[in-house]
Structure 1
Amino acid sequence: MSYVDAHVHLHEDPSLIEKDFLIVAVSDDLESSIKTLKLEGVFKCVGIHPWEVEESRESDLKKIEELAESAHCLGEVGLDYRFVKNRERERKFFEFFLNLSREYDLPMNLHALDAWREVFDLLLKYDIKRAYFHWYNGPLDLIEEITSQGYYIGINAAIKIQKKHLRVLERAPLKAILTESDGPYKYRGITLKPSMVREEIQKIAEVKGISAERVKEVVLSNLRSWLNLSLL
């Protein structure tokens, strides 16, 4: 049974592909979206990361809309209230992708750093059916609201060194969890990569008190539901 990495910046390093993995490749801007769509053997997301909103042009949005017809999902998109200063512009870009998700019925691979509630509220406002909160580290009391809508919570391989993230895992139901690495992002001196999900699965199994195989089975089912795949 395959492992799942639901969030990898594979356009930065295609060698991160693992044979026994199902990988969701996300993009950062128009250029990387084009690169992502050329990758083989992975699920592909197109979009503009909140960190790239300032450098991206509004004309890029129309081009990404054209690319979306060949994509499995939209991402990495969302809001960032910690590092992005121009909130009006990033919200404008995010609302474009919310409309795109609704129009094309594409699931969203979300960045919501310090904007967890705002992103969640916008999903409801735009009637988004399928969404995934990448590397969720938001309020614990928001988890139940997120999962009650059928949205998914991202558990990252950095859980072994991030105590707050462990509390998220403890609170989030397994039926709402997707595993990820966010590779090749560097976090606290560690370069994250899909292979680390193997150890992450063991940690989830330990916390939930079930077998690693059962964790893999449920996460795979979650991926299938999020991407609306009838077969894997």
Structure 2
Amino acid sequence: MDAHVHLYEDPTMADEETILVAVSDDLESSLKTLSLKGENVVPCVGVHPWSSPEVGEEELKEFEKLVERALCLGEIGLDKRYVPDFEKQRRVFEHFLTLSKEYSLPVNLHALDAWEEVFNMLLRYDVDRAYFHWFNGPLHLLDEIVSQGYYVGINAAAKIQKKHLRVIERAPLTSIMTESDGPYVYRGVKLTPKAVPELIGIIAKVKKVSEEAVAEAVLRNFKRWSGALAQG
């Protein structure tokens, strides 16, 4: 399963064998994502931190009409590296955390260079189910995320990003999900859901377990995060 993919950018990435958690970046992409909802596609609506400076109050209100059709909120969060208006990001993020609590929806998070701020806001808003996409934050915070029952994303870029391998080593299998962030291109490598099987092999090698054990753990984690287990 791919826990974080921008399917609306390239719907051909979908296939019948992979569960795709499809994230959005703004109102327009959220509507596109909802139109792709299917048996293997879990649609998320939201405003990416990079899009937050352009979002007005009326547009945010429109999301209150969409949440009943969505299965999660994302890609939402904070970014201290690329977006200068941090306070506007925070206000937009708070809006979605309120919706998460009100509608009992899991969140799919972007937290680049703002890992601790995002984590603390989840606690403040009492969010039950959270997923930190492509986690590369401090390892001490990883321990806190795990202890809180939240999940972290292991990206297919792990095969070329050595820093990410340390997250695989530290995070227990009970707290990780696999993702591509497709169709993103990282250091010349195009990331798509097709890269997930290779990623499972990398995780299995680092963890010294079978690929089957990794795949089963990831699927269980997805079901807990998405609420599928609770729904039966």
| Interval of TM-score (by shorter of Structure 1 and Structure 2) | over 0.9
2:149 and 2:37 mapped to 1: Cα distance?
29
CA-CA distance at 1:58 after TM superposition: 2.0
State the match for 2:196 in structure 1: 197
**Does the 8 A contact of 1:102 with 1:128 survive in 2?**
yes
Question: SS at 1:150's partner residue?
Answer: coil
**Does the 8 A contact of 1:11 with 1:25 survive in 2?**
yes
Cα deviation 1:134-172 (Å, max 9, x = unaligned):
000000111110011110010000000001000011000
1:216 and 1:63 mapped to 2: Cα distance?
37
**Does the 8 A contact of 1:46 with 1:76 survive in 2?**
yes
State the match for 1:111 in structure 2: 110
State whether structure 2 residue 26 is matched by structure 1 residue 26. no
Amino acid across the alignment from 1:16: M
**Does the 8 A contact of 1:81 with 1:115 survive in 2?**
yes
Which segment is superposed worse, 200-209 or 51-60? Answer: 51-60
2:158 and 2:15 mapped to 1: Cα distance?
20
Question: SS at 1:179's partner residue?
Answer: strand
1:176 and 1:209 mapped to 2: Cα distance?
16
State the match for 1:183 in structure 2: 182
2:104 and 2:37 mapped to 1: Cα distance?
22
**Does the 8 A contact of 1:25 with 1:43 survive in 2?**
yes
**Does the 8 A contact of 1:120 with 1:146 survive in 2?**
yes
2:47 and 2:218 mapped to 1: Cα distance?
26
Question: SS at 1:82's partner residue?
Answer: coil
CA-CA distance at 1:29 after TM superposition: 0.1
State the match for 1:38 in structure 2: 35
State the match for 1:126 in structure 2: 125
Aligned length: 229
The 5-angstrom pairing of residues 33-182 of structure 1 reads: 33-41=30-38, 42-182=41-181
CA-CA distance at 1:19 after TM superposition: 2.2
State whether structure 2 residue 25 is matched by structure 1 residue 10. no
TM-score (normalizing by structure 1): 0.97
TM-score (normalizing by structure 2): 0.97
CA-CA distance at 1:54 after TM superposition: 1.5
**Does the 8 A contact of 2:37 with 2:43 survive in 1?**
no
Amino acid across the alignment from 1:29: D
CA-CA distance at 1:119 after TM superposition: 0.3
CA-CA distance at 1:48 after TM superposition: 0.2
Amino acid across the alignment from 1:53: S
Amino acid across the alignment from 1:162: Q
1:145 and 1:40 mapped to 2: Cα distance?
33
Structure 2 unmatched runs, 5+: none
Aligned-residue RMSD, C-alpha: 1.0
Percent of aligned pairs with the same amino acid: 61
CA-CA distance at 1:64 after TM superposition: 1.1
**Does the 8 A contact of 1:18 with 1:195 survive in 2?**
no
